[in-house]
């Protein structure tokens, strides 16, 4: 890591990245955490990818979701490799619906898979597997795997095993940081390095946007149309000479946002720190900032100057 001085990271003697004195504004959502096991890593990740599709932002997606981690076979209930995913929604009822839909349509349909609860200590528990058992058309059987109540549902390849109940908990969504760079290439490289660092060094989080990177951040509402959200015009480089409230410096021509959801605010802050400290190393990065709504969106704040002291 290069030298830090105040809110600047010096890439070399004459080049530095400015860190905005601002915060990321985060808000509570309900989260479910699912362990998908399969015959091998390929099929575990295939099911995990399908189950977390169309889930970038609750603004228009039916949920927010992403892949958290890979779990080795010696740490899963059925002794097979697994992938952990997280699914987020505003209410428990809507979250239950999304968990049922995504497990049934994206996991059960995927070859060799099984689905287990990955929040065993959660106080709130939803009857997800119990709802899915009806697909067995009366041929389903209740059983136990590693002390867990499961349903064995007959399917064409053999059987699909799903845990009876899944835990859910209040979690944190909307952690973020913004990368402002001289070119799209340098900005994308910095974003990719940030995502890689988060995936390798953080725990308990997901990055819901495609590849972990958001290329079209939004603002709340619209100035011209009746929309819940519209383009974040103050951060659009193509508008910096047009709009009076532009936040894009003259030498910046691309901006990417990394959005982070996590099981608690500390997980999210740690992930932000990992991502920022990787992104600032890329030549061409000019500034790091964060998105907020002045404290009106949610009760949780992650100040960049405090976040960067975590690792």
What domains sit in the chain, N to C, each tagged with a CATH number? 4-26+173-307 (3.30.70.520), 29-169 (3.30.70.520)
Contacts of 266 (CB under 8 A, 6+ apart): none
- Distance (Å, whole) CA 123 – CA 115: 19
Kindly calculate the radius of gyration of the chain based on its CA atoms and give it in whole angstroms: 21
Q: How far, in Å, CA of 253 to CA of 236, rounded?
A: 8
Q: Is the pLDDT of residue 25 over 80?
A: yes
Predicted pLDDT at 81? 98
Q: What is the mean pLDDT of residues 47-71?
A: 97
pLDDT (0 to 100) of residue 293: 78
Q: Comparing 293 with 75, which gets the higher pLDDT?
A: 75
DSSP characters over 71-86: E-GGGSTTSS-EEEEE
How far is the C-alpha of 235 from the C-alpha of 140, rounded, in Å?
Answer: 54
- Would the CA dihedral through 28, 75, 99, 106 be positive or negative? positive
pLDDT averaged over every residue in the chain: 95
Confidence of residue 92 (pLDDT cuts 50, 70, 90): very high
Q: What is the pLDDT of residue 310?
A: 82
- Over pLDDT 70: what percentage of the chain? 98
**Dihedral (CA of 253, 187, 67, 270) sign:** negative
What number is the average pLDDT over the span 129-155?
98
How many CB atoms neighbour CB 265 within 10 A? 17
**The residue to which tokens 């990417």 are assigned:** 256
Task: Kindly state the tokens that stand for 169.
Answer: 């908990």
pLDDT of residue 4: 80
Residue 198 to residues 4, 187, 201, 275: CA-CA distances in angstroms?
20, 17, 5, 5
Least confident residue range of 9-13, 107-111, 197-201: 9-13
pLDDT of amino acid 28: 96
- CA 155 vs CA 37, 107, 128: distances in Å: 16, 12, 18
Residue 1 scores a pLDDT above 60: no
Predicted pLDDT of residue 220: 86
List the one residue out of 125, 118, 218 whose CA is nearest residue 167: 125
Cα–Cα distance for residue pair 255/188, rounded to 1 Å: 9
pLDDT class of 311 with cuts at 50, 70, 90: low
HSE (side-chain half, CA atoms, 13 Å) at 116:
24
Q: Max Cα separation, the chain? A: 72
Query: Which candidate, 183, 172, 205, places its Cα nearest to that of 256?
Result: 183
pLDDT at residue 292, as a whole number = 87
The whole-number average pLDDT for the span 283-287 is 97
Q: Is the pLDDT of residue 2 over 80?
A: no
Confidence check: pLDDT of 134 > 90:
yes
d(CA 115, CA 133): 12
Place of tokens 């059925």: 78
């Amino acid at each position: 890591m290069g030298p830090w001085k105040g809110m600047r990271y010096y890439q070399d003697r004459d080049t530095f990245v400015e860190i905005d004195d601002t915060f990321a504004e985060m808000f509570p959502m309900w989260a479910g955490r699912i362990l998908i096991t399969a015959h091998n890593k390929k099929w575990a990740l295939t099911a995990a990818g399908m189950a977390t599709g169309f889930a970038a932002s609750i603004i228009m997606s039916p949920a927010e979701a992403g892949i958290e981690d890979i779990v080795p076979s010696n740490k899963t209930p059925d002794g097979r490799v697994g992938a952990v995913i997280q699914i987020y929604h505003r209410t428990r009822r809507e979250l239950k619906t999304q968990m049922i839909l995504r497990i049934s349509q994206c996991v059960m349909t995927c070859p060799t898979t099984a689905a287990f609860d990955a929040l065993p200590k959660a106080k709130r528990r939803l009857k997800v597997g119990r709802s899915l058992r009806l697909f067995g058309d009366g041929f389903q059987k209740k059983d136990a795997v590693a002390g867990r109540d499961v349903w064995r549902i007959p399917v064409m390849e053999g059987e699909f095993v799903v845990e009876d109940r899944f835990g859910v908990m209040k979690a944190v969504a909307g952690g973020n940081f913004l990368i402002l760079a001289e070119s799209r290439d340098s900005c994308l490289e910095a974003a990719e390095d940030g995502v890689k660092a988060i995936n390798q060094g953080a725990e308990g989080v997901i990055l819901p946007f495609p590849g972990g990177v958001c290329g079209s951040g939004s603002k709340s509402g619209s100035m011209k149309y009746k929309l819940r959200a519209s383009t974040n015009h103050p951060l659009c480089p193509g508008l910096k000479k047009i709009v009076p409230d532009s936040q894009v410096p003259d030498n910046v021509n691309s901006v990417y946002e990394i959005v982070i959801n996590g099981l608690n605010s500390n997980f999210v802050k740690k992930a932000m720190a990992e991502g920022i400290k990787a992104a600032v190393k890329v030549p061409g990065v000019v500034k790091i900032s964060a998105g907020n709504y002045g404290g009106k969106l949610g009760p949780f704040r992650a100040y960049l100057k405090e976040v960067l002291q975590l690792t």
